[in-house]
Chain A
Amino acid sequence: MNEDIIFTNLAKICGTKNVSKDPKILIKYSKDLSFFKGYPPLFIVWPSNTQEVEKILKFANQEKFSVIPVSSNSNYRLHGDTIPHNNNCGILDLSKMNKTISIDRKNRVVMIEPGVTFADIIPKLQQKGLRLLLPLHPTGTKSVVSSALEREPIIIPRYHWDSSDPLLCTELIFGTGDLFRTGTAAGPGTIKQQKRSGQAQVNPMGPTQFSPFRLIQGSQGSLGVVTWATLKLELSPTIQKLYHYQSSDILELLEFQYELLKYRLCDQLFILNNLNLACLIKQVPNEIRDFAEHLNKWNLIYVLSGRGKLAQDKISYLEGDINDILKEKKLKFSNQSNLIQEESILKTLNEATPNSWRLRLSGAYQDLFFLSSYEKITIFTNLVEKQIYSDLGIYIQPINQGTSYHCEFDIYYDPNNNNLVDNVKDKFLEISKQLMDLGAFFSRPYGILAKEAYTHQSAENINALKKVKKIFDPNNILNPGVLCFDN
């Protein structure tokens, strides 16, 4: 393969301004906040539309080089999944594909390109009385489509009907270079024709007897490149009432949140330890540490929402039912919202942050996350806490309407302290392994953890995934080496 020929052809496809092999630019994509050590990319290409992406992938198949799709041009990449695993790889940076194609209030759906960020879209939606289903205070520069493709947990679990939410339909190019649209976007008809017949690409299932969008989700760009997606929206509430309960015993908070979610009584709902709540609210390290000291170890945050004429009526009934639960379960919490300004925390729940809240404490972190059943949360928290004594943030998020829990452990550290970095890396790996042995389900295995995660999974699963890879990316041109798709 001749790199120059490749570069020239890419320039022909996207324009010379949209391809680069400038080492100063390449270096940004060669590393990230993870411990993964890969290769620098050979080039970066910025397509502007679907047709260019299609051409690029067809070309890649022809010339047998790899590409890794990334959706945001920020430097804030976390998990090693966008760093090349070989020296034959370029970066397909989709950040210039950043159109908000349509916002549909009636059908509560938005259609966006992968380059659209949280900072872009949230205000646009707010203007129309709509809201995205957000992860916890997302970084503004993060790609919304990426977040959905990664199955990042959302903070309103009652709206999390399926693990795939809020992702609906997609347009994508498979690794073969074939264009495809998933769900009802597949047709019949073009998107324009579908819209004319009243459709809004809101049914993600299909077409017919398979749901390829589920294969693309979680694939870390190794099966297809999404060029637009529709995402579910909800209506913005007119009243939001925040509750913050604290306890030294996570079990009683877990018990309570279970009831809240089982009966669909609240919107946002999650548990943070004191450090993570402090990181979320405060901006600078000493304020964070100081505030954390004032908080109880475990903090449950939930929000009651109402909308329209009967907003207050709704809040009243929810409060009444919740009080009944508290009485029945003999739980005594008091709303600690006087410790934190309701407005400030609601802001974190409804908006993006320019810089990751997880970076505020120490400048770097490793997030160790997996899915767990209700019963095992405390087993896992105990295991991690026994081995990481300080600067450990914990975030427990019920997902999929309470059928499982995203458990996240944020190990904060100073990236300039090399000893600490090595120590964190060792612990990260060791603890992950222990967690896996105990049944922690690493459903989104990134970077250095992926191999280990797959050794804990049955061989049949891996064989099946490899078959899928062979179908949709037989020449292994998309992000080779991630997950269980070895080079």
Chain B
Amino acid sequence: MTTDHFPEEEYQRMIKRCVRCSVCKWIPQVQIKSQKYASACPAIDIYNYHPYSGGGKIILALAYEMGRIKPTEELRDIVYKCTECGNCAIACKYMNTLEPLEIIMRLREKLVKVGCGPMPKQQEYIEVVKKLNNPYNEPHKKRTDWISDDIKLDPSAKMLYYVGCTSSYRRKEIAIATVRILNAAGVNFNILKDDEFCCGSPILRTGEINTFEEFMNKNLDMIESKGIETVVFSCAGCYDTFKVDYNLRRKYNFKVLHTTELFDMLIDSGQLKLKKDVPLKVTYHDPCHLGRNAERYEDWDGETIQLMPLVSINIPPKSKRIGTKGVYDAPRNILKKIPGLELIEMERIQEYAYCCGAGAGVKSAFPDMALKTAKLRIEEAEDTDADILVSACPFCSTNLQDGIQDSGSKLKYYDISELILIAMDIEPKRSNKTTNEVI
């Protein structure tokens, strides 16, 4: 099943229209504050050749459609060396009407269809997900190992905390911190435990749509069967997948919230009290899947009218997904409310934040690229003179911490939930072990 948010005729129309302006390589021009942090695209930053950029991949899509290039490993490698962070789309759509990210995703789907994708390592983890419901090759029953006895769950609660694979198996400190906060705030919630399966994000973004849709349906059937009204996510990837990608394909009745949105509300309502001074300088990394990509597609019931020859307009105007409605304020509000904490912004933030480097299967297939990208982002964080790098996604957490370790940076990394715990005068629990995070 394909979605009609991006019909094939739109794809075919758009791939012919790249003007090769290179705007996709940079953050929006009016946001450039220095030479060092002007760039938007990790892929071209690392590999340098034009096809690695958003516009470059549009050209590949066209050349492929025209039969000028074949589905080879050469093509596949370029197309998959991309975290699908969407920064190219933000820059492009500042003025243009193309959809670079949609095109890249569709191109992957097409390559998968002809057996030229996903990457071998991605194929491996997809098989693992099918078998074990997680990409980490961990037994399904170990998904709930992080849950301790002192955590209060309410099976009748209408709020569900969807933990996600990464927090369940690798970044357990995030799951633990989340539930502790919810407990402390007196929020009634439940967890699916063994009934929780991979959201499918790492599968979707490789272009393997069929398997993704299986998991989507599995998850939605499960949640809907439990009468859940609100699902809360501490993982930006899961959040975005449910909010945006599931919603495109199948409507559901429950609300989705990221923990930062919920925590911000809880702080405002007084349910969460931040009483301890946290005298630290922090800088916040906007996860792509919480920020620019976490913007729902809006239904549009209008008409495309030819205003004059060669010029068509949409009546009413179609809204552009340009990252305006991403979750940027909630995490920042939280950080500003933590007493003693000083938030220093990096140059590339919000809808033009630089990617951590892990997404869309890159961490598995191209670990070097993921690490190099992380280190670029670490350098940017270091340049703020902050002590702490904080974010709100376990996948960003993994990759950025790998980057910190590899570069020997003095930065410390925290998930935002951990900082909240500290401000609540509760010590976050951390494992000292860092495992090889993905297969």
A/B: CB atoms within 8 Å of each other: no
